[in-house]
Structures are given as structure tokens and as C-alpha cells.
Structure 1
């Protein structure tokens, strides 16, 4: 009850203060009200631009620690200007009847992303999924945790949904990456089959000595924090934290965007990147911004660049250059949004997590500056608007 009253006060406080704000500005880290005057509930989300409208899909959070699990589903908001958002409701609902469903209420659904397939005219959603009691040889079968490390897939005929859940998978089962090493194909020791916590403090310095890639070859690779990217040629890619979060994978999707094509590469082994985001400039340069692995606590962002999505990738360091850069301004990357109608205009979207009461989490949106097509830079701003891109 105290939490409910506190959150209601915060929303009321924000609503009163909003009278003093220009509705055509962004206020990073502050509460962001929708058309109903309610704080936007689309955490870990991403945005699809379709027919002159932005579609923001994200995790619907509820009050209390139980809100870290999926109690409702994936929430959608729409906007024509990126400032003002309309609540369109829940577009992918958790299953409340069939307890054997992988998306049964109480599972974990994180970082949903939606892309549009021009060939099939379908809208395809991928998300990180942790079903209840989904056991693998690599986990000990807790009620719900992060051992399953699966990818959920759903689709719809409309960007407004509803989305139909079709499957959950471990990526690329029985397929080696393009850059597989000989030792990966050697027999895996019993030690490798133990469960690890998904962070550098739980794994040896050189995790390739464990051959987690080889361990998961038959059942498919782990996929936790993730993103989607559609290139200029309409090929789509799934980028995700794999191998107990120690290594990033970039995997090409099939032409219908519903499965993995069996073409993928490993990047930054042993570097423990999560929350990966990806973008491409008008000059063909790719950039990744990700975070380290410190659970809900913020840490310094990392960035990298490449001339091809499959690399080689060059590590560039922390793109944040203002005060609190070592915490990525107390946030974690979620998505990089290309602003339509403006050349090389990108918005870095991030979350400020509130694991004790997830519904109170806020969003940090900042302009992403590309410097000489070589580096990306994030400068903190208390308030900003899209005119910052006028000189691009």
C-alpha cells in the first residue's frame, strides 16, 4: 500500500510539474507521461517506425519485486513526434491458462523488439525468454531464473498486434559459428556443464577454456540480452549476450525473420557484454553500444565500430563523456533509434532500472553524436529536443 501511494504521488507530482515543461522536449531520467497522464510502461524496449508512426514496444512492469517477472506482457505506445505517446495497450499477453506454455504468467520476458518484413508483410517480435521450470543440462532447474536463456518469437499482421507467440528457441542448435576455433569442437569436460552465474566474478578469466560454445552446441547457444537490426538490404540480424554472458553473438535471421539462418559469429569473447544495441550510419559504419555485467547496477558503457556487421569490430571504449559517465548516467542501453527524416540522427535509449519496484523505472534518451564516422559520443543533457540534429 505504501508503494502504491508513493508511486501515485510521484505520478501526480510529475503531472503537476509537466505544466511548466514544453511538451516538445525530452527530460532524461524523469517520469514520462502518456496520453492518459500515466508514466510510460515500456521498459527494455525498442521502436519500429512504420507508415509515419513510431511504435514503442517494451516490458510491462508491475509493482513490487514480482514485477521483474512477466505478469502482463509486452506494452505498446505510439507517437508521431517522439515526444507525445499514446497508450495502445498490451500487444503480447502472457498465458494465464496453460501452465505448460513457455510464456505462462510469471516467466521472464525481456527486451522485446519488433521488425517489419516487407516480403511477408508480417511484424515479427523477438525477446529474451526465461520460461518457468524450463530445465537444461546447464542449469539446476530453479523455479524461474536465467538458466534457460532462450529467445521467444511472435508475429502479427499489424504493428498494433495482437502478436501470436509461436515458439521459443536456443539459437543455432547444431551449428558452429563462422569463426569457430578447433578447440571448440573437442569433447566437453563435465566441469563445463556446471551452472554459472553469468558474470565475470563467476567464471575463469579465460572462459574459452570452459568451451561453453561447445557445451551448448547440440541444444543451441544461450541468448539473454538482445536486439534486432535490419540492414539496408533487408537482411535481419539477432544480436545477443551468449555463453553465460561472456561473449556476444551476431546471428543472421531467415528471410521471413522467424528463425536463425545458421550464419553467425562470436565477438568480444571473455569481455562480458550485455544490453547490446546496434546502429549504422549513412556512410556504412556500424556501431555497437553495450554494457558490462553488473546485474541491475549501472556500469560504464562500451562501444565498438565495424565496416561490416560481421566484423572485424574495433573496441572504442566508453562513449559517455559527461559527469556520471562511469554509470552511463545511471542507466543501461536498450536501443538506438534512427530519427526519421534526419541524416545520421540517432537517439540512445536506455533504462534506469528499479528492481525493488520495477514499474517506477524511468528512461534516459540522449542524442548520439557520431564523430568523423569513427566514434560515438554521449553527452548528458537535462533537457533537449530534436532541433539538436538540425546541423547534421
Structure 2
């Protein structure tokens, strides 16, 4: 028998195997670099958040496509799972946009941003909230959307979307200020605050009957099981911190207005040693700006601003990123990860993830740039 009869197929087979993509194994974080999943593909979960459930982390985020069309929802919400936070398994798209129904609030081509998922122990459901803008209407709708699932990997069923807390007064608004009359019109928008001569409640009053605006957002579940929807409202001028119902699928009518007139986006909240900490950004579109931080003894405030938590190269631009979530690392008390996105609006799918450790100094959260780092 010719010995090469068997060697030739083996050579072909070996060549085929060596050409197959190899899934990388990660043992550290490299902020701003391409982050491959188990299939060797850049993770596609932008503006995301993390759920820890039964020993597994689930990362949910916006699925982007190439080009500027990727800034609109063409696919839906993507999910990944991990045991160690370094290596992520692709779990697929868990909430799909409506491809053939332009009347659906989540029609293909809408704007669906910053999905966050929490688990409700009373109902056994996984609840997803997200910022939603209706197809073809730019950022005019300012809706909050909600979906539920029986498993963390979905599929999630879309429930509803709309403005929030219609006809409800904030718990921190004095009775003498509770009027829906808009005197003097609405303030002129600026990048940092309302004009001194403007009514700071004008946008709230304008939207009182039909519901308040809800744009950049996060969800926070406190130790007592109460869940809060934190979102940019009143043309992004003021943050609202609103309680959800016991099943986490709606608002119960109680909310407060935080940082009035400060124009903040990208909210993230976490709790450390009994205090609540807030990290967010200013409003400058896709362009990065200096991060902001604040602390409170109660999630409803009052909040005290602490300034920019970042230090190092480009700290005045949050290292080129924008906050999306603060992740408490399970089993490591006092260990938190600042999750941020480096947006690439000209080619949305190329957006990068910037995860950095948070430390504390003098009671303030601090975020320092690191090219590579590992969990303690």
C-alpha cells in the first residue's frame, strides 16, 4: 500500500482544523480593545448592564451592525454569559425587534438603548427595561420600554412602552410648587444648566399630563427588594429616580427629581457601605465629556455631587468613554467595576467596552486608567 494514500487526507484534515477560528481565553481586562466572545467574535452588547443569577453573569446590550445604520435597532438586545467576567459565551439575541411591523413600538429601525435586566424573586420573571425612541421620530418619544422572560437567556416578550408617571407629583416637590401652569414658556437648553431667569420646573409641568420623558437609564434593586428606574428626564435636564411596582414591570407613582437643571446622561448607581453612589456624564451627544459622581444616604436623596471620579490621561473626557453600569463583583465585597462604552457612531459595531476598577479615597469613588488589569 502506498503510504501517502493515508497521509494526504490527514494533511488536508489538519489544514482544515488549523484554519478554524480559535476562541481566545482571557485572564484580564484590556479597556478599549477588541473583546472576543467564545466564538472569536467581538462582543456585541453596547450600552449594557449585568445580571448575576445563580452563579452566572449575564451581559445584555444593544446589538449593533456596521455603519451609522447601527445606531438604530436593526436586530435587538444581545446576551452573553460568563462565570469569571473575562470570558463570555454568546447566548444570542434575547429580545428581537419587530421586523415586519412598523406599527410596533420596537419596529426595526427604532432606537433601543441601554437595556438592563433584573430578576424578580416574587414572580420568578426576568424583567428588562430600556430607553426607546419610535421609528422615524428621532429622540422625540422619550419612552421607557419593558419586556419579561422566564429565563435569563430569554426569549423576552415585549410588554409595553411609553412616557412614565403621567399625572404624578414628585415626592420631593413642595405642595406650593405643584401647578401645571407653565409661566414664561420652557427654558432654553444649555449644556450645563437652565438659564437663571427660567422656571426650572417648566419641562416637568409641560409633560405632567401625558407623562415624563425617559431617555438614558438604569435599573437598581436595593437590599430590601425595591427596584428603581433612574432616567434622564425633562429634556435631559433633570434625573428622575422612580420606584417600580412589586413585579418590576411598571411604575408605582413614587419618584423624585435629582440634579435639577444639571443635564446628566448615562446614569449608573451602586451601593457601598450603606451609601448610594451615582456616576453619570454631561450631555454632549456621542462626544465624550467629564464624568460626574455623587453620594447620598438615601437613594431618593438629597444627593451631593463629588466631581469627576476619573484620573489619568484623558480623565476630562472619561478616557473617551461614557458610563453605562456599575457592577458589584460577587464574592468580593467592596469590588466594583465601572462599565463604559467608547462609542463609534460612524461604524456602530466597532464600539468598544471600557471596564475599569473603582476604588475609594476620602469617601469618594475613584477611577484610574489601566491598560490591563485583573480582579483582586
| TM-score, reference length from structure 2 | 0.91
Alignment of 1:106 with 2:106, yes or no, is: no
SS of the equivalent of 1:327 reads: helix
Query: Aligned in 2, Cα 1:105/1:278: closer, same or farther, shift over 3 Å?
Result: same
SS of the equivalent of 2:122 reads: coil
Query: Aligned in 2, Cα 1:205/1:103: closer, same or farther, shift over 3 Å?
Result: farther
SS of the equivalent of 2:153 reads: coil
| TM-score, reference length from structure 1 | 0.87
| 1:166-216 Cα distance to aligned partner (Å, 9 max, x none) | 000211111010112434514125833x9x7x7538964565346111110
Mapped to 2, the partners of 1:298 and 1:377 lie a distance apart of 18
SS of the equivalent of 2:69 reads: helix
Offset of 1:31 from its aligned partner? 0.5
Q: How does 1:221-370 map to 2 (within 5 A)?
A: 221-281=212-272, 283-370=273-360
Mapped to 1, the partners of 2:184 and 2:165 lie a distance apart of 22
Alignment of 1:153 with 2:146, yes or no, is: yes
Q: How does 1:132-143 map to 2 (within 5 A)?
A: 132=135, 143=136
Query: Aligned in 2, Cα 1:98/1:186: closer, same or farther, shift over 3 Å?
Result: closer
Q: Please, which of 41, 60, 64 is the counterpart of residue 61 of structure 1?
A: 64
Offset of 1:321 from its aligned partner? 1.4
Query: Aligned in 2, Cα 1:260/1:360: closer, same or farther, shift over 3 Å?
Result: same
Q: Which moved more, 1:225-234 or 1:97-106?
A: 97-106
SS of the equivalent of 1:288 reads: strand
Q: How does 1:43-192 map to 2 (within 5 A)?
A: 43-132=46-135, 143-181=136-174, 182-189=176-183, 191-192=185-186
Contact 1:208 1:270 (8 Å CA) reproduced: no
Query: Aligned in 2, Cα 1:97/1:199: closer, same or farther, shift over 3 Å?
Result: farther
Q: How does 1:11-50 map to 2 (within 5 A)?
A: 23-50=26-53
Q: How does 1:371-382 map to 2 (within 5 A)?
A: 371-372=361-362, 374-382=363-371
Unpaired runs of at least 5, structure 2: 1-20
Offset of 1:144 from its aligned partner? 2.6
Offset of 1:30 from its aligned partner? 0.3
| 1:27-83 Cα distance to aligned partner (Å, 9 max, x none) | 000000001111000000000000100000000001111110000000000000000
Unpaired runs of at least 5, structure 1: 1-14, 133-142, 388-392
Query: Aligned in 2, Cα 1:95/1:266: closer, same or farther, shift over 3 Å?
Result: same
Aligned-pair RMSD on alpha carbons? 1.9
Q: How many residues align?
A: 355
